[in-house]
Amino acid sequence: MKHSNYFSIKFENDSVTFLDQTKLPLEENYVQTDDYERIAIAIERLEVRGAPLIGISAAYALAVAMKEDSKNKKQTFNKAYQRLKMTRPTAVNLFAALSVMKEEFSKINDYDDAYNLLLNKAKEIHKKDEEYCSKIGRHGINIFKKKSTVLTHCNTGKLGTGGDGTAFSVIKHAFENDLVNFVYADETRPLLQGSRLTAYELEKSGIPFSLQTDSSAAFLMQQGKIDLVITGADRIALNGDTANKIGTYSLAVSSYHHNIPLYIAAPSTTIDRAIASGKEIEIEYRNSSELLSVHNIQIASSEYDVFTPAFDITPAHLIKGIITEEDIFNFPYNFLR
């Protein structure tokens, strides 16, 4: 693949342009829109995905909603807000971004200024996440005690954030500092975010890697081939319990058994300070077709009953540390301090 510049989302010409991640890695297809409904659909379809990027996309969507020729801007805002709120339930960044935008809207006196004011706030959210990604990468270097082989799960790079990523940013910064020897990327079934997206980003970054099935991870650990496991997160409770892509809990159990440290990398916006533990995290369940077919090609009978959680919960005691833009936190976690 030719190494080229790519981006996950941009705001230009009074509209949002995003990379349709469902077409990757075979096609780099960018979608331009100023319709909040189209952005909501993109979030639901996983054309736009990754907890931080979902939040950024929703913020831009609320801004462009204010472009509508409507006499009742408040009603338009509330309609867009409720629509976006319903897109995906697990990633806390979505609700954090919506809350920030709602607060900003509540301060507006002249609704003729609503579009520009909300757009500036959305750009601020985007810029802040970009800065967070960079800081996460710099902090993350400190977990490396030697040049290491890293295993990662799902996709945590530019495709899921406003910057270089979370766990991917750690890996990239460490590689640039000669601290990463090789990366193993889980394929991440059923939607193959690892084989479609993480491999795409690793190749573009020039980082040596290998893909493997999710169920191969424990075997790699048994063979002594893994030094560190680093993943992202979609929601972190105050006690450190973490919701991430389905399969992360299995990795954590295997890592714990083989005495391999597992780290979570995520911005502080992923910490849900309203919940005490992972028991309070709502898990999203996806459509059965995502498991029964691949790229619209049926691979199992549509009559089968299926179990389709998009995320699982990793208990805090299985997590060696949580890397944020603020610092590296170690178990036991207390984010209120």
Beta pairing class for 148-152 and 180-186: parallel
Q: What is the DSSP letter of 2?
A: -
Helix (H) and strand (E) counts in the chain: 11, 15
Q: In angstroms, rounded to a whole number, what is the distance separating the alpha carbons of residues 269 and 96? A: 7
| Choice among 129, 164, 214, 234 that is catalytic | 234
Residue 305 is among the residues annotated as catalytic for this protein:
no
Beta pairing class for 209-212 and 321-323: unpaired
Structure token pair of residue 316: 């805090």
Residues present in the chain in total = 337
What angle is formed at CA 172 by the lines to CA 167 and CA 176, rounded to 5 degrees?
Answer: 150
Q: Which stretches within 49-91 are classed as H helix?
A: 51-65, 73-85
**What are the φ and ψ backbone dihedral angles of 316, each rounded to 5 degrees?**
-60, -35
Q: Active-site residue numbers?
A: 234
